[in-house]
């Protein structure tokens, strides 16, 4: 007989088969992932989790009989039945029906139930972004945005008191005291006690001896300081270039009466994609939600998507608000700034001058990327909106797309980023 | 008599060795079991899930369905819907038993008694296993299958291999010669044969031969239909075998893949027919051994109580109207019948003398049971050994659901008039010849469009489930390369329904 410890074998033996399974279930899984993600708050979109897919999509068929025909079954636990008794058919899935026949074949397994798949965050995101070929060039551009910062670099003997490295200093002092055999306070206390005792006893020789010893130790204590200037250390800092590892994303949306739920849903999906995209690339991503009618306000996510306002539409109010928040909280030197705006394109007449000025002077020069998404009801073939025309006149202007159905979001998102990177490429040549 | 094997729940590899040796003493010395050499492997929960996903085998070829099964089990396990098994045992020589690292010392004892001796004895001695499986070769063959399929994936692409395996898996339930019995397969020669076939195909392939003139026509003494049937061995219930041998468009590697799936299906064939016997044997054996261990002072009272709790859970059978009822628990049924055989041997009642004259009072239950373990499968075991006593204890009744009638009918119950009828009906539920649909390849339309014709002999109006059937038929058409037709025919030869399918390239 052998006993073998298999616990140390490499784990993850089923991983290749899991990947085959995910690939096989790819299409339905992707759909499920997108359904799940649309009901989540933007920040949680990229988390893993359980998705439910219909078992039908990934079943393994086999020849087996269905529920037609005569079925018979022997069951345990008879209470009152006698031979020849008639029993009404149980409603729904009868216990005597459809079971004992083909279902024993072992394959099939899950039957008609929904199938739950637990996905890791990585798998979830891969599925979520699968058909989005996010441009490489964009990433290069992101890593170029450097700023300098101070970096800890060991200790120094001189420096400002604010940078005193207390622990290090105390450690140095302790080792020096030990090395030079500075008498310990306990030892001194013990000697003094013994001296007092000896004096009380009137033992002259003993107390003289002790007094001499004590005097020697006191002298030593005085000559070896508790903390010496040579112990003192300061934290040293060094300037170093540092890529900006944080980004802020402004979501600007028109919430006036003309924006329907459908349009907001499209906008939300777009914001979500942008968030996921940024989060993959930056350590920290902050989101600022600004909604506007004829006046703009910074709100939380729930209010942003759910509450409804009445009023006119003045786009410049939102741009002004964004610009204010930018200046106040997100200096360009420290933050990568992304702005995504969704609107149906309506704007007050007479506001265009201000919009143009704000965009040209305040926002566009500061941000990495400005995406403008014009949303509309499906099959609504309205001519170019006034806001579109305004943005179109800007040089360089924001990236703009018009979206009317949910399905268009992913291609448009991809397109937006690709276009921009290609444009960059041509200008850099 | 002997000191305690262990105290408390902790165990070490020494403990396992000690437990095994003591259990072996009882199993071989007192129960006279005959087992393959044992190999006990300690594994983690994740490894147990891995093993679940690959039909309990330590190695298996790659396919997405195993990933699906893994996800399924993992989901249930994480949610706490189901516990993992304490053990898993493989019909191989040496007989490999997996034990979980989280088991207590008592559980390890139970698992060793159950799997390493109970199942092991059954695997080595049962007639079905002897005939259908090759315990010494299976692991090597799996290794070969895995490597071969991986190599095919590299040569022909993962997609092509996956499509073929999907099709083969769909037909796996019809990849066994049920009758007449096949000679035992030997996995070693299988590997050599696969290689030989591949080499031969490569060697003899020559464009020139396609242009050779046909020889003089032979004298035909039989009708073309008869000749065809002889040539193709029709009718043929083993669909995978038929395709492997005769499907015109398959490449050699595709035939080999069909063969691998078929042979592995065949390896599992006896297990499907001996669930009750297999688990009953193991449960009976562990019960005997654990009781002996307790009697001889090898395990403490506390440990024995822990065993009883666990044993009681294993052999729990909810009644039909219980919320927990889903089907008959094979552990419970097998254990109940085997302990009853022991009772009949040792303390028979007049009823037993009448029903089991050869057993009653023979006073040698171990020999009687070993004969049962060696020579029966579930269906024959139940039809011969289910005693009135067990039927009464279980309060069994036979329920018939005839769609022609407005209500369900109680056909028979556990009384004098009903015993034999209940028993007969019960045994049939374990007869896969009865429960699996009987589908055969009956003909090929060689003069027309090469359509493959299959027939399902419908019993008691039980037609095939529509949607799955058309999917499987689609796979079948892909393999055959030409259209297929499946006729469902009742007992009197009346056609009830027809399904047809075309190969993929023509379907789309």
pLDDT, tens digit (0-9, with 9 covering 90-100), for A245-260? 677 888 898 887 778 8
Is residue A107 scored above 50 in pLDDT? no
Tell me, yes or no, whether A293 and A330 share the same domain: yes
Last residue of a domain, one of A212, A236, A260: A236
Tens of pLDDT, residues B287-299 = 999 999 999 989 9
Is the pLDDT at A388 greater than 50? The verdict is yes
Residue of chain B nearest A96, judged by CA positions: B401
Q: How many domains is chain A partitioned into structurally?
A: 3
The mean pLDDT value of chain A amounts to: 77
Q: Is the dihedral of CA A195, A201, A207, A210 positive or negative?
A: negative
Q: Write the residue in A16, A23, A88 that is nearest to B407 by C-beta.
A: A88
Residues A140 and A263 in one domain: yes
Please give the Cα distance from A336 to A340 (Å, whole number).
13
CA distances from B461 to A69, A71, B465 (A): 4, 9, 12
- The arithmetic mean of pLDDT across residues A173-196, rounded, is 90
At A412 the pLDDT is: 76
| pLDDT at res. B433 | 81
Does B45 lie at the interface with A, CB-CB under 8 angstroms? no
Q: Is residue A77 part of a domain?
A: no
* B202 class by beta-carbon count within 10 Å (0-12 exposed, 13-18 middle, 19+ buried): exposed
The reply to whether A231 and A360 lie within a common domain is: no
A389 part of a folded domain: yes
Which CATH number is A414's domain given?
Answer: 3.40.50.410
| B318–A contact, CB cutoff 8 A | yes
Is the pLDDT assigned to residue A199 strictly greater than 80? yes
> A227 with A278, same domain?
no
Instruction: Indicate yes or no: CB of A117 within 8 angstroms of CB of B75.
Output: yes
Model confidence pLDDT, tens digit, residues A301-317: 878 877 777 777 888 88
Q: What is the mean pLDDT of residues B25-32?
A: 91
Task: Give yes or no: residues A345 and A386 share one domain.
Answer: yes
The pLDDT of residue A386 is above 70: yes
pLDDT at A425: 41
Cis peptide before A128 (omega within 30 of 0): no
Nearest CA in chain B to A18: B67
Q: Hey, which residues does A401 pair with through a beta bridge?
A: A373
Instruction: Please indicate whether residue A97 or residue B328 has the higher confidence score (pLDDT).
Output: B328
* Chain A residues with beta carbon closer than 8 angstroms to that of B489: none
- Mean pLDDT on A196-214: 86
- Using 50, 70 and 90 to split pLDDT, how confident is the model at B322? confident
Nearest residue in B to A2, CA atom: B39
pLDDT at A96 over 60: no
What radius of gyration do chain B's Cα atoms show?
Answer: 26
pLDDT-derived band at B161 (thresholds 50, 70, 90) equals very high
Could you state, in order of their start, the residue ranges of all structural domains in chain B?
13-126+274-309, 138-201+222-272, 321-433, 437-507
Region B210-219: what's the mean pLDDT? 62
Q: List, for residues B51-106, the tens digit of each pLDDT value.
A: 888 777 888 888 888 888 888 777 777 766 556 667 788 888 889 999 888 888 99
From the CA of B65, how many Å to the nearest CA of chain A?
7
User: Is A351 in the same domain as A285?
Assistant: yes
Q: Are residues A229 and A271 in the same domain?
A: no
Q: Percentage of residues in chain B with pLDDT exceeding 70?
A: 92
DSSP B297: T
> Residue B272 has which token pair?
């499907």
Partners of residue A107 in chain B, C-beta under 8 Å? 169, 172-173
Is A88 a member of any domain?
no
Whether B64 sits inside 8 A of A84 (CB atoms) is no
Contact: B13, A14; criterion CB under 8 Å: no
Residue A358: predicted pLDDT: 86
Residue A66 to residue B464, Cβ atoms within 8 A: yes
Would A189 be classed as within a structural domain? Answer: yes
CA-closest candidate to residue B347, choices B356, B287, B26, B293:
B356
Residues of chain A neighbouring B69 (CB-CB closer than 8 A): 109
A398 in the same domain as A253: yes
CA distance B83 to chain A (A): 17
Same domain, A282 and A174: no
How confident is the model over B443-454, as pLDDT tens digits?
888 778 889 999
Q: Are B113 and B290 in contact (CB under 8 A)?
A: yes
Cβ contacts (< 8 Å) between A77 and chain B: which residues?
318-322, 325, 394-395
Say whether pLDDT at B262 is over 80: yes
pLDDT band at A292 (very low <50, low <70, confident <90, very high): confident
* Mean pLDDT value across residues B246-275: 90
Q: Does B24 touch chain A (CB under 8 A)?
A: yes
Domain that holds residue A141: 136-145+244-428
Contacts A110 to B, Cβ<8 Å = 72
Q: Which of A186, A213, A236 is the last residue of a domain?
A: A236
Mean pLDDT of chain B: 86
Same domain, A417 and A329: yes
Q: What phi-psi label fits residue A286: left (phi over 0), alpha (psi between -120 and 50 degrees) or beta? A: beta
How do residues A110-167 score in pLDDT, each as one tens digit? 344 677 777 777 777 777 666 554 433 343 344 445 566 777 888 988 888 888 999 9
If asked whether residues A185 and A253 sit together in one domain, one would say: no
User: Which residues, including other chains, have CB under 8 Å from residue A125's CB and lie 6 or more apart?
Assistant: A46, A276, A280
Q: What is the pLDDT of residues B363-402, one digit of tens each?
A: 889 999 999 999 999 999 999 999 999 999 999 999 998 8
Q: Assess whether A253 and A388 both reside in one domain.
A: yes
Mean of pLDDT values over B161-172: 91
**A262 — phi, psi (to 5°)?**
-60, -45
Within an 8 Å CB–CB cutoff, is residue B228 touching chain A?
no
Min Cα separation B206/chain A (Å) = 38
Lowest model confidence (mean pLDDT) among A164-173, A361-370, B499-508 = B499-508
Would you place residue A427 in the very low, low, confident or very high pLDDT band (cuts 50, 70, 90)? very low
Q: How far apart are the first and last CA of chain B?
A: 76
């Amino acid at each position: 007989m052998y006993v073998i410890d298999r616990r140390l074998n490499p784990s993850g033996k089923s991983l290749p088969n899991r990947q085959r399974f995910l690939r096989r279930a790819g299409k339905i899984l992707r759909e499920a992932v997108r359904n799940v993600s649309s009901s989540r708050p933007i920040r949680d979109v990229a988390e893993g989790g359980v998705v439910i897919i219909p078992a039908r999509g990934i079943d393994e068929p086999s020849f087996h009989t269905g529920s037609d025909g005569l079925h018979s079954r022997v069951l345990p636990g008879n209470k009152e039945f006698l031979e020849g008794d008639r029993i009404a058919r149980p409603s729904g899935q009868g216990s005597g029906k459809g079971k004992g026949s083909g279902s024993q074949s072992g394959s099939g397994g899950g039957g008609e139930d929904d199938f739950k798949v637990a996905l890791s965050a990585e798998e979830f995101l891969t599925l979520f972004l699968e058909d989005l070929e996010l441009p490489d060039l964009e990433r290069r551009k992101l890593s170029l945005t450097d700023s300098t910062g101070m970096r800890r670099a060991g200790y120094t003997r001189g420096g400002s008191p604010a940078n005193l490295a207390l622990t290090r200093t105390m450690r140095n002092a302790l080792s020096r005291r030990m090395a030079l055999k500075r008498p310990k306070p306990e030892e001194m206390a013990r000697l003094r006690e013994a001296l007092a005792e000896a004096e009380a006893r009137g033992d002259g020789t003993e107390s003289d001896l002790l007094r001499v010893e004590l005097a020697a130790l006191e002298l030593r204590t005085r000559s070896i300081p508790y903390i010496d200037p040579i112990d003192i250390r300061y934290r040293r800092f060094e300037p170093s270039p540092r890529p900006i590892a944080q980004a802020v994303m402004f979501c600007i949306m028109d919430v006036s009466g003309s924006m329907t739920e459908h349009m907001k849903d499209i906008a939300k999906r777009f914001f979500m994609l942008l968030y996921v995209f940024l989060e993959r690339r930056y350590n920290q991503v902050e989101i600022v939600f600004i909604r506007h009618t004829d006046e703009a306000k910074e709100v939380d996510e729930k209010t942003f998507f759910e509450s409804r306002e009445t009023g006119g539409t003045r786009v410049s109010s939102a741009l002004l608000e964004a610009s204010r928040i930018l200046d106040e909280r997100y200096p360009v030197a420290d933050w990568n700034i992304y702005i995504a705006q969704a609107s149906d394109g309506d704007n007050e007449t007479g506001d265009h001058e201000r919009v143009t000025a704000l965009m040209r002077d305040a926002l566009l020069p500061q941000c990495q990327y400005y995406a403008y998404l014009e949303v509309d009801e499906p099959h609504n073939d309205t001519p170019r909106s006034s806001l579109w025309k305004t943005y179109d006149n800007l040089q360089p202007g924001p990236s703009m797309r018009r979206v009317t159905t949910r399905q268009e979001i992913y291609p448009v998102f991809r397109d937006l980023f690709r276009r921009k990177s290609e444009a960059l490429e041509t200008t850099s040549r | 008599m002997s000191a305690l094997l262990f105290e408390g729940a902790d165990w070490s590899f020494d403990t396992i060795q000690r437990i095994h040796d003591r259990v072996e003493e009882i199993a071989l010395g007192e129960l006279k079991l005959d087992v393959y050499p044992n190999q006990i492997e300690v594994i983690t929960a994740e490894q147990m899930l891995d093993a679940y996903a690959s039909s309990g085998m330590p190695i298996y070829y790659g396919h997405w369905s195993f990933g699906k099964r893994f996800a399924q089990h993992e989901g249930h396990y994480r949610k706490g819907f189901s516990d993992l098994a304490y053990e898993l045992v493989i019909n191989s020589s040496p007989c490999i038993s997996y034990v979980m690292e989280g088991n207590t010392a008592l559980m390890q004892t139970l698992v060793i008694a159950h799997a390493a001796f109970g199942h092991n004895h059954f695997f080595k001695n049962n007639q079905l296993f002897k005939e259908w499986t090759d315990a010494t070769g299976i692991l090597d063959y799996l290794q070969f299958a895995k490597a071969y399929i991986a190599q095919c994936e590299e040569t022909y692409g993962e997609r092509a291999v996956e499509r073929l395996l999907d099709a083969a898996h769909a037909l796996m339930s019809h990849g066994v010669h049920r009758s007449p019995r096949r000679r035992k397969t030997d996995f070693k020669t299988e590997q050599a044969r696969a290689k030989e076939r591949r080499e031969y195909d490569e060697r003899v392939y020559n464009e020139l031969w396609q242009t050779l003139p046909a020889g003089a026509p032979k004298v035909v003494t039989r009708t073309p239909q008869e000749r065809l049937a002889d040539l193709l061995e029709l009718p043929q219930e083993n669909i995978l075998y038929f395709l492997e041998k005769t499907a015109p468009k398959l490449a050699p590697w595709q035939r080999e893949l069909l063969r691998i799936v078929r042979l592995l299906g065949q390896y599992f064939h006896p297990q499907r027919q001996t669930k009750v016997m297999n688990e009953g044997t193991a449960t009976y054996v562990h019960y005997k051994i654990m009781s002996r261990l307790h009697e001889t002072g090898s395990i403490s009272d506390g440990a024995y109580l822990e065993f009883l709790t666990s044993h009681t859970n294993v052999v729990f059978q909810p009644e039909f109207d219980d919320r927990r009822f889903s089907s008959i628990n094979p552990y419970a049924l097998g254990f109940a019948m085997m302990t009853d055989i022991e009772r009949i041997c040792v303390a028979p009642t007049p009823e037993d003398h009448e029903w089991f004259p050869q057993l009653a009072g023979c006073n040698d239950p171990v020999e009687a049971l070993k004969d049962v373990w060696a020579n029966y499968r579930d269906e024959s075991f139940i039809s011969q050994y289910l005693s009135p006593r067990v039927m009464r204890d279980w309060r069994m009744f036979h329920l018939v659901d005839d769609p022609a009638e407005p209500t369900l009918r109680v056909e028979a119950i556990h009384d004098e008039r009903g015993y034999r009828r209940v028993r007969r009906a019960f045994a049939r539920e374990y007869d896969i010849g009865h429960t699996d649909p009987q589908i055969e390849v009956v003909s090929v339309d060689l003069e027309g469009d090469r359509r493959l014709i299959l027939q399902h002999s419908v019993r008691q109006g039980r037609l095939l489930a529509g949607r799955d059937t058309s999917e499987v038929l689609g796979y079948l058409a892909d393999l055959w390369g030409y259209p297929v037709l499946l006729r469902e025919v009742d007992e009197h030869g009346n056609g009830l329904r027809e399904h047809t399918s075309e190969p993929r390239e023509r379907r789309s």
